[in-house]
């Protein structure tokens, strides 16, 4: 990853068409790849960052031709207590999980346990690691999000114009997102469409918890059984809306919680060998933001989850 010099000089960066309309804080996170989000906000708050020679708020929308002053920065301490949070080893590691890339965007097969971005007690996430590992990408932003405990396809835009077009597809519901989930409990019948409104509540520790609520936001998930076992079922889950923890709360709402989910529902003992949430974003399909051609990317089920299925199949065969 790029290292900061021992004492860099202040930089004057002129906002181009690709950076126009971006928030100041997001622009700085791209320009200062790997710098902790908290330090970026501190630079803005202290007035060390200037826009057109004046102070600006983190949410300020940059305009074409704005001049942003980025202050001198010091290299990180030897013990890693300051400066960029991602080391070269972790940066190279995250590059091994890229499953698709072109000039407009890329898809990461995100491992379970890796947050999509830093914050709320998480020092760094997938976006910070990628920015540190890919200094050649001036622009790199999340198109959507995955829960920290969920693995699989995570889409990033490499151009502002691509992000806008992909977000238009997200709002129109034309990005097809499919997950594989092992649900607990005997399953009968075929596919089930779950339409339960969801509301987000904040706990005292700042964590978000979602519940079924009549006054919540509309949410729709379709669960399609792929393999039925005596006490569980492997389903493909298709999202028609994108609410926080939607699959997990909908699964618990119909009495079939996701295996390994310690947050929602009363859990029966997990299947043998399962030590994580059995939820994997295995497929994404969308229209290319430049060519408008259909793009489909798949991420295979992680080996630990595939091993759990193998054990269930062996037990069922008896």
| Among 262, 297, 254, 266, residue whose Cα is nearest residue 279 | 262
Residues 242 and 109 in one domain: no
- Per DSSP, the three-state class of 200 is strand
In a domain, residue 4? The reply is no
Is 25 among the residues known to form the active site?
A: no
Instruction: Give the pLDDT of residue 119.
Output: 64
Residues 28 and 153 in one domain: yes
Q: Note down the domain range covering 294.
A: 174-317
% of the chain at pLDDT higher than 90: 62
In a domain, residue 258? The reply is yes
Residues 234 and 303 in one domain: yes
pTM of the model: 0.75
- Per DSSP, the three-state class of 277 is coil
CATH label of the domain that carries residue 269? 3.30.2350.10
- pLDDT of 137 > 60? The answer is yes
In a domain, residue 82? The reply is no
Residues 148 and 180 in one domain: no
Question: Where does a domain end: 137, 160, 183?
Answer: 160
In a domain, residue 182? The reply is yes
Give the range among 36-50, 102-116, 249-263 with minimum mean pLDDT: 36-50
Which residue's entry shows tokens 């181009």? 16
Question: Where does a domain end: 160, 194, 212?
Answer: 160
| Among 159, 164, 92, residue whose Cα is nearest residue 129 | 92
In a domain, residue 83? The reply is no
CB 250 within 8 A of CB 241: no
Residues 108 and 218 in one domain: no
Instruction: Give the pLDDT of residue 317.
Output: 87
What average pLDDT does the structure give for the chain? 86
Residues 224 and 269 in one domain: yes
b or e along 86-115 (b: 16 or more beta carbons within 10 Å of the residue's beta carbon)?
A: beeebbeebeebebbeeebbbbbbbebebb
253 is written with which tokens? 């709402």
In a domain, residue 72? The reply is no
In a domain, residue 76? The reply is no
Question: Where does a domain end: 118, 136, 160?
Answer: 160
Tens of pLDDT along 183-213? 999 999 999 999 999 998 876 555 678 999 9
Give the range among 264-268, 294-298, 302-306 with minimum mean pLDDT: 264-268
Residue 153's beta-bridge partner residues? 109
Residues 251 and 148 in one domain: no
Residues 224 and 247 in one domain: yes
Instruction: Give the pLDDT of residue 205.
Output: 57
In a domain, residue 77? The reply is no
Instruction: Give the pLDDT of residue 267.
Output: 65
Residues 32 and 132 in one domain: yes
Number of domains in the chain: 2
| Among 145, 139, 150, 147, residue whose Cα is nearest residue 105 | 139
Tens of pLDDT along 166-175? 999 999 999 9
Task: Give 108's contacts (C-beta < 8 A, 6+ positions apart).
Answer: 94, 97, 98, 99, 126, 130, 153, 154, 156
Residues 178 and 156 in one domain: no
Phi, psi of 315 (to 5 degrees): -65, -40
Residues 142 and 185 in one domain: no
Q: Catalytic residue among 66, 147, 149, 261, which?
A: 147
Element (H, E) at 133: helix 126-133
Task: Return the beta strands (E) in the chain as ranges.
Answer: 11-14, 50-51, 67-70, 98-101, 105-110, 141-142, 151-157, 176-184, 192-195, 198-202, 208-212, 220-229, 232-239, 279-287, 294-298
CATH label of the domain that carries residue 134? 3.30.70
Residues 127 and 156 in one domain: yes
């Amino acid at each position: 990853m790029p290292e900061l010099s021992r004492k860099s000089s202040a930089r004057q960066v002129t906002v181009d068409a690709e950076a126009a309309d971006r928030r100041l804080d997001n622009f700085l996170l791209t320009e200062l790849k790997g710098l902790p989000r908290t330090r970026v906000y501190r630079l803005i708050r202290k007035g060390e960052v200037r826009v057109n020679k004046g102070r600006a708020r983190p949410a300020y929308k940059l305009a074409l031709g704005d001049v942003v002053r980025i202050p001198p920065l010091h290299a990180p301490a030897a013990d890693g207590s300051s400066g960029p949070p991602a080391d070269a080893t972790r940066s190279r590691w995250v590059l091994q999980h890229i499953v698709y890339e072109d000039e407009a965007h890329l898809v990461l097969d995100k491992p379970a346990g890796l947050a999509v971005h830093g914050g709320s007690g998480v020092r760094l996430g997938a976006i910070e690691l990628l920015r540190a590992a890919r200094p050649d990408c001036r622009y790199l932003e999340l198109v959507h999000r995955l829960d920290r405990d969920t693995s699989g396809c995570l889409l990033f835009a490499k151009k502002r114009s691509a992000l806008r077009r992909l977000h238009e597809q997200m709002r129109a519901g034309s990005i097809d997102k499919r997950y594989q989930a092992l649900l607990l409990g005997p399953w009968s019948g075929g596919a089930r469409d779950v339409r339960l409104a969801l509301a987000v509540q904040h706990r005292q520790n700042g964590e978000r918890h979602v519940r079924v609520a009549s006054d919540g936001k509309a949410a729709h998930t379709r669960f399609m059984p792929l393999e039925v076992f005596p006490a569980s079922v492997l389903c493909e889950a298709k999202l028609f809306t994108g609410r926080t923890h939607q699959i997990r709360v909908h699964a618990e709402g119909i009495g079939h919680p996701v295996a390994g989910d310690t947050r929602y529902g009363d859990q029966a003992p997990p299947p043998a060998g399962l030590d994580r949430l059995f939820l994997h974003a295995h497929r994404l399909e969308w229209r290319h933001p430049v060519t408008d051609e259909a793009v489909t990317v798949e991420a295979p089920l992680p080996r630990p989850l595939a091993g759990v299925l193998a054990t269930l199949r062996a037990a069922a065969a008896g």
